């Protein structure tokens, strides 16, 4: 697993295009080594508006810092014993977190590496259910969609 080297990683990030065929694109990076849990890494991402993937329920580093105008979450803890992959209370919690991110809040603020200086702002949220007990991932995703759609507050769509 690659370790964090600030100059090397900055050079990599600088290679990422901001547009493809004239259309803006966004980037998210998922790191898997503890050496990335540093303010220097967070600063590199914030300067470029690149999201740090929140790899939840996994053995990988949990980087909860919001570094982009969107949040990219991969929940990876579905269980074979739960028909919907997660217990109902866990699904409720993930739905609540997604709503908080959409409103510009960070439900994991206490776990951040480097506090944001900006005021909280609404964000697009991309939440994927992967890994864990894979046959139950679609059911978990549908259960999350149902919960989020019932509780979502009307937020203006960002363009």
Three-state SS at 158: coil
Assess if residue 93 is contained within a domain.
yes
How many domains is the chain built from? Answer: 1
- The verdict on residue 157 lying in a domain is no
In-domain check, residue 39 = yes
On whether residue 11 sits in a domain, the answer given is yes
Report the SS3 class of residue 56: strand
Owning domain of residue 110: 6-151
Specify the pTM: 0.89
In a domain, 158, yes or no: no
In DSSP terms, 20 is beta-bridged to 23
Length reported for the chain: 159
In a domain, residue 69? The reply is: yes
State pLDDT tens for residues 120-148.
Answer: 889 999 999 988 899 999 999 999 999 99
Q: For 66-122, what is each residue's pLDDT tens digit?
A: 999 999 999 999 999 999 999 999 999 999 999 999 999 999 887 899 888 777 889
């Amino acid at each position: 697993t690659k370790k964090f080297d600030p100059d090397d990683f900055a050079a990599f990030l600088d290679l990422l295009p901001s547009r493809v065929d004239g259309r803006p694109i966004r980037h998210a990076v998922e790191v898997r080594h503890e050496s990335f849990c540093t303010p220097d890494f967070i600063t590199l991402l914030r300067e470029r508006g690149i999201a740090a993937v929140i790899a939840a329920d996994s053995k990988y580093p949990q980087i909860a810092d919001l570094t982009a105008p969107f949040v990219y979450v991969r929940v990876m803890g579905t269980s074979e014993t739960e028909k919907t992959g997660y217990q109902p209370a866990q699904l409720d919690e993930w739905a609540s977190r997604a709503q908080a991110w959409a409103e510009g809040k960070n439900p994991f603020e206490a776990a951040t590496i480097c506090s944001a200086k900006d005021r909280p702002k609404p964000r697009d949220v991309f939440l994927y259910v992967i890994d864990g007990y894979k046959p139950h991932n679609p059911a978990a995703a549908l259960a999350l969609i149902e919960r989020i759609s019932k509780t979502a507050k009307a937020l203006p769509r960002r363009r």
